[in-house]
C-alpha cells in the first residue's frame, strides 16, 4: 500500500469526515522543502477521497507569527518590525527596504509578498487547498473561545509544556502574547487577565489591554497550533520532523488540545528535503531552490513524483542536475506501465506485489489531476533534451518526433515540457553531461581508445562526408556505410564517429546534429583525426 493510502486507512478508522491541514510561516522565500509539507497533505487528502472519505484540505498561512530577526535579504529598516506580525508589516522591495507605497495603497504585506508566488506554484502543481490566513482568523475572533479556555486553564497548560518538553517557563508566562503599544509581540509582560482583556506592560513602560476576541495579540506557538486544530476541526496533519520529536510541539500540542476540549489530529512526520551536497535547505543560508524556479525547470508531475515515491520518513535529496533526468525518465517508464495487468499475475510474490502497488500508488499521487491516469508522452527527457539542443524551433522538434512516429500532434503537456526543457538548458542547472558539443580539435585520448580495426573508418568517413549531401538523412546513412565498405559492422562506424567528433564512446544521434553544423568544419575535423591516428 502506498504511504498515503496507509494514512487514509488510519483516518477511516476514526470517522468519515476529515480535515487535513498544513501550515507554513511566510517569513522568507518559500522553497521546495515547503512543497513537501503541502504535497504530503494533498496526497493524504487524495488517498482519503479515494477511500470514500469526505475530506477537505486546508493550508494555514501563519501571518500572525512575528518577524524574528532582520534576515540577510532585508534592509536595516526592518529592525523596527522585529516582533511585529508578518501580516501587518510592509513587504520588502527589490532592495530589501519596506515597500510603504504598496503597503498603504494595496495593503500588500510581508506575508503576501512571499505567499503569492507560492500559491501560483501550488496552482501549477495541482494543489488547491482552502487557504486560511491566521492573522485574519485571530481578528475575526475564531480563536476567541479556545483562547479563553487556555487562559482560564493556564496552569494546566503550563504544567503540560514543562513536563513534556522539560523546559521551564518563566514565572510571568501567560498563554496569550498581547501586542504592545508599538504593535510588537516581544517583551510584553502580562499583568492581569479578565476575559476578554489581557492587561500588559510593554518594554517602553506603556500599559494597556489586549482584547482576545479581537485578536489583539496571539497565542504562543505551542498553543496556537492545537487551538487551530480545535476551531478548524483538523483530523490529520503532516509536519516536519522538527515538530515530531519527543518533547516537540506535536507532543505538547496533543495534550493541550485536549485541555482545550478537542482531539489531536492524526500525525504524520516527514523528513526534510535537502539540496544535493549542500545540506538542509535554509532561506538564510541562501541555498534554496524556490518552487517557482523548480517549476520552470521541472514538469509539475515529476516534482510530485519525487515526493510521492519517497516515504515521508525518508530524506529527499533534490538535485537539478542529472538526477532530474533520471527522475523524469522514471516517470515516463512508470506512465507506460499497465499496473492492473501486472497485478493480475497470480504468481507474484508478496514483495513483488507490494512493489507494483506502491509504484501504482505513487503515480496516482503524481498526476496533476486527481483521478486521471498518467499518459506516457513517448518522448524521454533525454531525447527531448537532445532535440531541444539541436532544433532551433519548436516546430522542428515536433517534425522530428512525428517523423520518428513518436507522436502525431504535440499535446499541451509536451509543449509545456519542451518550454521547461529550454529553460533548463539555458539555466545554470543544466548538467555538463547532457550538453551536446562537437569538438573543435581532435581528442587524442579518445582516439587512442578506438580499436585498431575501427581506426581506418575515420578517414573513410572524412571522405564520404566530404562528398555527400549535407542533410540529416544522407549523413545518417553515410556513417554506417563507411564502416560497411571496410567490411565492418555499423557499430564500428558509430564508434569512430563519436570518438572523432565528440571524444566519447557513445552519444546522441549524430546525423541531425551534424546537419546543423558546417560540412567543411566536420570534414576537416575528421581529417585531422585521421592524421593523428596514423
Site for RNA in 302-361 (CB under 7 A): 310-311, 313-317, 326, 329-330, 333, 351-352, 354-355, 358
- C-alpha neighbours within 13 Å on the C-beta side of residue 458: 31
Q: How far is CA 454 from CA 320, 479, 500, 502, in A?
A: 38, 12, 11, 16
**What residue has cell string 512575528?**
66
β strands within 129-255, DSSP E = 130-133, 177-178, 189-194, 197-201, 207-211, 217-218, 236-240
13 binds RNA (CB under 7 A): no
In the complex with RNA, which residue's Cβ is closer, 213 or 529?
529
Q: Are 135 and 111 in contact (CB under 8 A)?
A: yes
Among 183, 208, 233, 507, binds RNA (CB under 7 A): 507
In the complex with RNA, which residue's Cβ is closer, 102 or 189?
189
**What residue has cell string 531525447?**
383
Among 15, 75, 107, 247, binds RNA (CB under 7 A): 247
CA distance 526 to 534: 13
88 binds RNA (CB under 7 A): no
Q: How far is CA 69 from CA 74, 84, 85, 186, 315, in A?
A: 9, 10, 12, 12, 28
CA distance 456 to 495: 12
Chain residues 144-183 in contact with RNA, contact rule CB under 7 A = 165-167
130: β partners: 58
CA distance 293 to 305: 17
**How near is the Cβ of 263 to RNA at its closest, in Å?**
21
Q: Are 14 and 48 in contact (CB under 8 A)?
A: no
Among 407, 436, 438, 517, binds RNA (CB under 7 A): 436
Among 399, 448, 489, 520, binds RNA (CB under 7 A): 489
**How near is the Cβ of 25 to RNA at its closest, in Å?**
4
What is the chain's alpha carbon radius of gyration, rounded to the nearest angstrom? 30
Among 4, 18, 20, 25, binds RNA (CB under 7 A): 25
90: β partners: 109
CA distance 89 to 102: 11
In the complex with RNA, which residue's Cβ is closer, 136 or 317?
317
CA distance 248 to 229: 16
Among 388, 510, 514, 515, binds RNA (CB under 7 A): 510
491 binds RNA (CB under 7 A): yes
**How near is the Cβ of 104 to RNA at its closest, in Å?**
27
Three-class DSSP category at 58:
strand
Q: List CB contacts of 2: < 8 A, sequence separation 6 or more.
A: 47, 308, 357, 358, 360, 361, 362, 364, 365
Helix (H) or strand (E) segment spanning residue 269 = strand 266-270
Q: Are 87 and 131 in contact (CB under 8 A)?
A: no
245 binds RNA (CB under 7 A): yes
**How near is the Cβ of 207 to RNA at its closest, in Å?**
26
246 binds RNA (CB under 7 A): yes
Among 85, 103, 494, 527, binds RNA (CB under 7 A): 494
In the complex with RNA, which residue's Cβ is closer, 272 or 470?
272
Query: Using CB under 7 A as the criterion, what x/- string covers residues 109-148 for binding RNA?
Result: ----------------------------------------
249 binds RNA (CB under 7 A): yes
27 binds RNA (CB under 7 A): yes
What's the DSSP call for residue 51? T
**How near is the Cβ of 288 to RNA at its closest, in Å?**
8
Among 229, 239, 398, 424, binds RNA (CB under 7 A): 239
Chain residues 367-426 in contact with RNA, contact rule CB under 7 A = 380, 382-383, 385-386, 404-405
Query: Using CB under 7 A as the criterion, what x/- string covers residues 274-303 for binding RNA?
Result: x----xxxx---------------------
Query: Using CB under 7 A as the criterion, what x/- string covers residues 178-207 for binding RNA?
Result: ------------------------------
- Grid coordinates standing for 367? 498526476
**How near is the Cβ of 67 to RNA at its closest, in Å?**
10
The count of residues interacting with RNA (CB under 7 A) is 81
- Grid coordinates standing for 195? 476575559
54: β partners: 17
In the complex with RNA, which residue's Cβ is closer, 38 or 259?
38
Amino acid at each position: 500500500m502506498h504511504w498515503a493510502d496507509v494514512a487514509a486507512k488510519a483516518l477511516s478508522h476514526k470517522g468519515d469526515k476529515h480535515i487535513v491541514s498544513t501550515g507554513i510561516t511566510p517569513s522568507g522565500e518559500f522553497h521546495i522543502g515547503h512543497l513537501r509539507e503541502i504535497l504530503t497533505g494533498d496526497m493524504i487528502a487524495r488517498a482519503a477521497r479515494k477511500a470514500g472519505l469526505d475530506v477537505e484540505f486546508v493550508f494555514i498561512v501563519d501571518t500572525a507569527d512575528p518577524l524574528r530577526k532582520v534576515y540577510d535579504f532585508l534592509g536595516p529598516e526592518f529592525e523596527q518590525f522585529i516582533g511585529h506580525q508578518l501580516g501587518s508589516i510592509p513587504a520588502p522591495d527589490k532592495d530589501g527596504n519596506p515597500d510603504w507605497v504598496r503597503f498603504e495603497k494595496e495593503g500588500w504585506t510581508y506575508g503576501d509578498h512571499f505567499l503569492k508566488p507560492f500559491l501560483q506554484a501550488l496552482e501549477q502543481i495541482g494543489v488547491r487547498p482552502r487557504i486560511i490566513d491566521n492573522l485574519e482568523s485571530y481578528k475575526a475572533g475564531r480563536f476567541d473561545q479556545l483562547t479563553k479556555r487556555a487562559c482560564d486553564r493556564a496552569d494546566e497548560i503550563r504544567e503540560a509544556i514543562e513536563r513534556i518538553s522539560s523546559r521551564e517557563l518563566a514565572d510571568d508566562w501567560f498563554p496569550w502574547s498581547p501586542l504592545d503599544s508599538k504593535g510588537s509581540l516581544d517583551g510584553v509582560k502580562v499583568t492581569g487577565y479578565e476575559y476578554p482583556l489581557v492587561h500588559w506592560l510593554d518594554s517602553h513602560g506603556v500599559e494597556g489591554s489586549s482584547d482576545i476576541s479581537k485578536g489583539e495579540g496571539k497565542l504562543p506557538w505551542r498553543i496556537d497550533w492545537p487551538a487551530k486544530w480545535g476551531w478548524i476541526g483538523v483530523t490529520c496533519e503532516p509536519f516536519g520532523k522538527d515538530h515530531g520529536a519527543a518533547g516537540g510541539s506535536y507532543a505538547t500540542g496533543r495534550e493541550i488540545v485536549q485541555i482545550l476540549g478537542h482531539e489531536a489530529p492524526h500525525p504524520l512526520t516527514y523528513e526534510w528535503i535537502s539540496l544535493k551536497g549542500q545540506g538542509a535547505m535554509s532561506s538564510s543560508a541562501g541555498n534554496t531552490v524556490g518552487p517557482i524556479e523548480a517549476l520552470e525547470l521541472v514538469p509539475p508531475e515529476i516534482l510530485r513524483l519525487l515526493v510521492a515515491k519517497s516515504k515521508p520518513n525518508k530524506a529527499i535529496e533534490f538535485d537539478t542536475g542529472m538526477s532530474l533526468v533520471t527522475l523524469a525518465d522514471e516517470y515516463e517508464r512508470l506512465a507506460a506501465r499497465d499496473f492492473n495487468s501486472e497485478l493480475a499475475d497470480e504468481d507474484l510474490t508478496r514483495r513483488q506485489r507490494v512493489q507494483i502497488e506502491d509504484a501504482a500508488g505513487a503515480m496516482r499521487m503524481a498526476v496533476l489531476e486527481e483521478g486521471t491516469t498518467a499518459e506516457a508522452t513517448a518522448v524521454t527527457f533525454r531525447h527531448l533534451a537532445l532535440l531541444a539542443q539541436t532544433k532551433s524551433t519548436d516546430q522542428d522538434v515536433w517534425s522530428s518526433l512525428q517523423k520518428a512516429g513518436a507522436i502525431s500532434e504535440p499535446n499541451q503537456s509536451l509543449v509545456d515540457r519542451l518550454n521547461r526543457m529550454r529553460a533548463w538548458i539555458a539555466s545554470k542547472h543544466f548538467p555538463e553531461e547532457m550538453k551536446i558539443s562537437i569538438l573543435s580539435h581532435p581528442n587524442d585520448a579518445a582516439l587512442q581508445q578506438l580499436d585498431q580495426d575501427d581506426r581506418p573508418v575515420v578517414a573513410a568517413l572524412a571522405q564520404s562526408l566530404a562528398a555527400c549531401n549535407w542533410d540529416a538523412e544522407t549523413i545518417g546513412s553515410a556513417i554506417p556505410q563507411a564502416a560497411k565498405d571496410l567490411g565492418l559492422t555499423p557499430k564500428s562506424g558509430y564508434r569512430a564517429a563519436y570518438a572523432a567528433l565528440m571524444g566519447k564512446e557513445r552519444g546522441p544521434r549524430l546525423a541531425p546534429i551534424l546537419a546543423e553544423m558546417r560540412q567543411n568544419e566536420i570534414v576537416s575535423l575528421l581529417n585531422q583525426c585521421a592524421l593523428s591516428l596514423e
